Structure 1
Amino acid sequence: MQGWSETDIPDLSGKRVLITGGASGIGYEAARALALHGAHVLIADRNEQGGRDAVARIQALKPGASVEFRALDLSSLESVRQFATSLVAEGGKLDILINNAGIQPISERRESADGFELTFAIGHLGHFVLTAGLWPLLLAASEPRIVTVSSMVHGRGTFDWDDLQITKGYAAQRPYNQTKLANLLFARELQRRVDLSGGKVKSIAVHPGVAQTSIGSNRKQLGKFRLGDHLISVILRFVMPYLGQPASAGALPTMYAASAPDAQGGGFYGPQGGGEMKGPPGSAKIKPAGQDMAVARKLWDVTEELTGVTFL
């Protein structure tokens, strides 16, 4: 995979892809690249105008590109269930599911419609329910893949099983770290369960390194900023561009995991240069927190209890 780039994406004609958070940033770049290589791409996002604009931008790049928008609010488990039920009712298959959507939280703790901490609800619980709901479509594909976007900060994540929703000692980075650890452990535990069942699904985790996306500006929609929130926004806006790479480069690990023939189920991929901050995709380091499969199994069980959804 040395030097792998967007031009190495194979012909994806006949493949159907769904990517959450595809209206902007890394999600958009992955949707764009996969659509330009022949896939039929469903962009799922709560930002309806942004999603429709993303479709128009891709089709302007390649007239006739097969891409469509579907509204999805991952912060509401009922909305996720209805979305999945509707898509399954349409029939067909889903070759690639990319669990990409997420938020960068602020200092004010926010809750989802179901009463869960908002970052965890969107990034982990919503994707768990979505994956379970779309399972029949994935099994209908010949070589299905699920790509889940984690982060380098997964190693800083922890779970307080007595306060998983972080009602005490809340700080903006804490739920983000927890959610990104959950993303990696979910992907790894999903592959373990697929292997035990003799299934064909590849579950792959990725991280984008340090990439310039709209996640910083989108934080303004989450509530009233405190001093620390303004400082983080300054860092995201002015410092990260010097350390990181464009969103199109940050999306390369996602593109690789979704399309490369040699991407391995259970693998973890990220940039290869500068401490995994940028560069072409390759195998990424799983930090100790992400290697604890006992915790991964417990997280799966707790997630089933929280969501009321079981599969595998």
Structure 2
Amino acid sequence: MQTVVITGGTDGLGRGLAVHYLRQGARVVAVGSTPAKGKALLAEAAAVSAADRAVFLRADLTSVAAAEELVTTIETTCPSVDKLVLCAQRYRLFGPRTVTSEGFEHSFALAYLSRYVLSHGLRKALESAPRPVIMNVGTPGVPLGRIHWDDPQLTHGYSGTKATLQSFRANDLLGVAFAALYADSPVSHVGYNPGVVSTDMPNHLPAPLRVLTKAAFALLATSVTKAVAPMVRLLDEPPGERCTAYRSSRRLPLKGPAFDQDAALRLHHLTQDLVTGAKP
């Protein structure tokens, strides 16, 4: 039986993938922060006779310590992990800068640091599977945002958009560094841009923008069911290369600053120091 671990597994694309793999007979470990949504997913699993294969783990993925505890829990309960899907994200495009209890800027912590910890932390569990794959859901192929090397926590000149875009660029480099560091590993790391998908993301926006975004989603967004299909194809038949990037079904060239190996390794070492420093 395959084991599929999905962060953000109780919402949007993550939930869509969770339900798909439960229907396919896999064991699904869905990670989320809201117990009510976890309970709803488990009820849906029971409705398709998959209650014994569905696990909800509550975790605050803005915390490095919580992400590391999650790695330990998964390693303890799962002999191997076939697919790791990293979807957890909460857009904070507006409002003041906020930091986690460990002192990290919120978007950097949730959308990047948690993925760093889980990717590296679960590597051995993934390598125990026959065709292991990490899918890092973000925006590869979008030439916006950059790493603020001198101030990655954006203590100066903060904006929510700047922070969100930095986290996406960091995830592009995460895949490149992972492939470079573990060149002999069988794990495929896929950076994946699903395009515009009809999820509940607008619910977290300020009222006027929320209405406009929902209207745009109604016209332009792909349904979760349709958006999941190309993701499943890549997860079930991962590319042979250690690092790839896709926008839906279209493969993207790993060129330019977004995929520069020197920058990727620089970010890896910087992140390693940050993660180590967060430990008590």
Same fold (TM over 0.5): yes
Asked if structure 2 preserves the Cα contact closer than 8 Å seen for 1:21 and 1:45, the reply is yes
Identify which of 169, 194, 200 aligns with 1:214. Answer: 200
Distance 2:193 2:175 in 1: 12
Q: What's the offset of the Cα at 1:231?
A: 4.3
- Kept in 2: contact 1:152–1:209 (CA 8 A): no
Contact kept? 1:93, 1:138, Cα under 8 Å: yes
Q: Name the residue aligned to 1:161.
A: 149
Mean CA deviation greater in 141-150 or 251-260: 251-260
Work out the number of aligned pairs and report it.
275
Conservation of the 8 A alpha-carbon contact between 1:17 and 1:40: yes
Q: Is the 8 A contact 1:20 1:45 kept in 2?
A: yes
Contact 1:154/1:287 (8 A) holds in 2: no
* Matching residue within 202, 222, 230 for 2:188: 202
Contact 1:77 1:307 in 2 (8 A): yes
- The answer as to whether partners of 2:140 and 2:191 remain within 8 angstroms in 1 is no
Question: Does the CA-based 8 Å contact 1:211-1:241 persist in structure 2?
Answer: no
Specify the SS of the correspondent of 1:147: strand
Give, in whole Å, the separation in 2 of the partners of 1:302 and 1:238.
Answer: 41
User: Equivalent of 2:177, from 166, 173, 189?
Assistant: 189
Matches within 5 A, 1:1-312: 14-60=1-47, 62-64=48-50, 66-105=53-92, 106-151=94-139, 154-195=142-183, 198-217=184-203, 219=204, 229-260=206-237, 262=239, 264-271=241-248, 281-284=249-252, 288-308=256-276
Q: Which amino acid aligns with 1:48?
A: P
Task: Decide whether aligned partners of structure 1 residues 252 and 182 sit closer, same or farther in structure 2, where only a CA change above 3 A counts.
Answer: farther
What CA deviation, in whole Å up to 9, does each residue of 1:227-256 have, x standing for no partner?
A: xx4444233211133122112223334323
| Cα displacement (A) at 1:31 | 1.1
Residue 182 of structure 2 aligns to a residue whose secondary structure is helix
Structure 2 distance, partners of 1:137, 1:27, is 20
SS of the counterpart of 1:148? strand
State the SS of the aligned residue for 1:79.
helix
Change (3 A) 1:264 1:154: same
- Secondary structure of 2:73's match? helix
2:208 and 2:86 map into 1 onto residues whose CA distance is 29
1:146 counterpart SS class: strand
Q: Distance in 2 between matches of 1:177 and 1:90?
A: 34
Q: Conserved in 1, the CA contact under 8 Å of 2:82 and 2:131?
A: yes
Contact 2:188 2:239 in 1 (8 A): no
- The alpha-carbon deviation at position 186 of structure 1 amounts to 0.7
Q: Report the Cα offset of residue 91 of structure 1.
A: 4.9
Coordinate RMSD, CA, aligned: 2.1
Query: Which structure 1 residue ranges, 5 or more long, are not aligned?
Result: 1-13, 221-228, 272-280
Cα contact 2:62–2:114 (8 A) shared by 1 = yes
Query: Equivalent residue of 1:308, what SS?
Result: helix
Tell me how far apart the structure 1 counterparts of residues 25 and 97 of structure 2 sit (CA, whole Å).
41
**What's the offset of the Cα at 1:172?**
2.0
Distance in 2, Cα, partners of 1:151 & 1:34: 24
CA distance in structure 1 between the partners assigned to 2:141 and 2:218 by the alignment:
18
Q: Which amino acid aligns with 2:229?
A: L
- Asked if the contact 2:148–2:166 (Cα under 8 Å) also holds between the matched residues in 1, the reply is no
In terms of mean alpha carbon deviation, does 281-290 or 48-57 score higher? 281-290
Partner of 2:271, secondary structure, is helix
Q: Flag as ranges the 4+ runs of structure 1 deviating above 4 A.
A: 261-264
Q: Which residue identity is paired with 2:259? A: Q
Q: 1:18 to 1:82 in 2, by over 3 A?
A: same
- The offset of 1:285, in angstroms, is 5.5
TM-fit CA distance, 1:297: 1.4
Following TM superposition, by how much is the alpha carbon of 1:192 offset from its aligned partner in structure 2, in angstroms?
2.4
**Any idea what SS the aligned residue of 2:104 has?**
coil
